[in-house]
Structure 1
C-alpha cells in the first residue's frame, strides 16, 4: 500500500509539473494583437514633392510621390518587434527615420510631418515634441 501511495504522489507531482509548464507556455506564446495601429506621413515641406519609400521586414509599402500637404498612411497589428522605417528624398536631399518601433519604451508619434529641417511628431504618452532624422545631400 505504501508503494501505491509513493507512485500516486509521483504521478500527481508529474501531472502538476506538466500543468505548470503548459500554463507558462501558453502565457509566453506571442498573441497577435487585434488592435490596429495607423501611422500617417504628410509632406509639409515649404515646396516640392517628397518621395517616400516605407516598409517593414515583412511589408514593403512601395514608393510614394507626395505633393505639399499630401500624405499617406497604413494600418498594422502592432507587436513588440514591429518596426516600420521610411526613406525620404526631396530636392537632392534624403532622410531615413523609423516611423514606428514597437520595441521602443515610449511610443513614437503615429502622425509624422516631413518639414524642411527634419521629421516632426509627438511622443504618444507625453505629447512631447519629437524630431527625427537629418537631411543629407544625395551623393551622385
Structure 2
C-alpha cells in the first residue's frame, strides 16, 4: 500500500531562515521563512519505498544540509500508517537544531532532535 505524505518545515527562530528542498526528481526551490511560517509539500511515496527529499538550510552565517524525508526516519518519527489516512512529517527549526515529529505539538512534547546547526 502506498502512503500519501505531507512534509512541513516550521521556522521557530525569530530571524528568517532560507530553505531549499529537492529530490532526485523535483527542485522545490528556495523559500525564506519568517518566524512561525512553514514550507510544505505533498507526494505519494514510491512503491520502492526509496523516496528521498533533502534540504539546505541557511540562518545568518550558519548552513546545514540533510535528508528531510526518507523511509527510515518517516517510519520512526512521523505519523504511523493507517488505511486511507494521509501521513505527516513535521520539522521544527530552532536555534539549537532540528526536531522531527508527527504533528505540531507544544515543544518539547512529541519532538525528537535529529540535527544541529
Write the distance in 2 (CA, Å) between the matches of 1:76 and 1:60: 13
Residues 6-32 of structure 1: CA deviation (Å, up to 9, x unaligned): xxxxxxxxxxxxxxxxxxxxxxxxx8x
* Shift of residue 78, structure 1, vs aligned partner: 0.8
**Residue of structure 1 equivalent to 2:100:** 121
Write the distance in 2 (CA, Å) between the matches of 1:108 and 1:61: 23
Q: What is the root-mean-square deviation in Å for CA atoms of aligned residues?
A: 2.2
- Larger Cα-atom Rg: 1
* Shift of residue 123, structure 1, vs aligned partner: 6.4
Match of residue 88, structure 1, among 20, 38, 57: 57
Greater per-residue strand proportion = 2
**Residue of structure 1 equivalent to 2:15:** 48
Write the distance in 2 (CA, Å) between the matches of 1:44 and 1:129: 13
**Relative contact order higher in (CA < 8 Å, ≥ 6 apart):** 2
Greater per-residue helix proportion = 1
Unmatched 5+ stretches in structure 1 = 1-30, 136-140
Residues 63-96 of structure 1: CA deviation (Å, up to 9, x unaligned): 0011111111000111310011111000110122
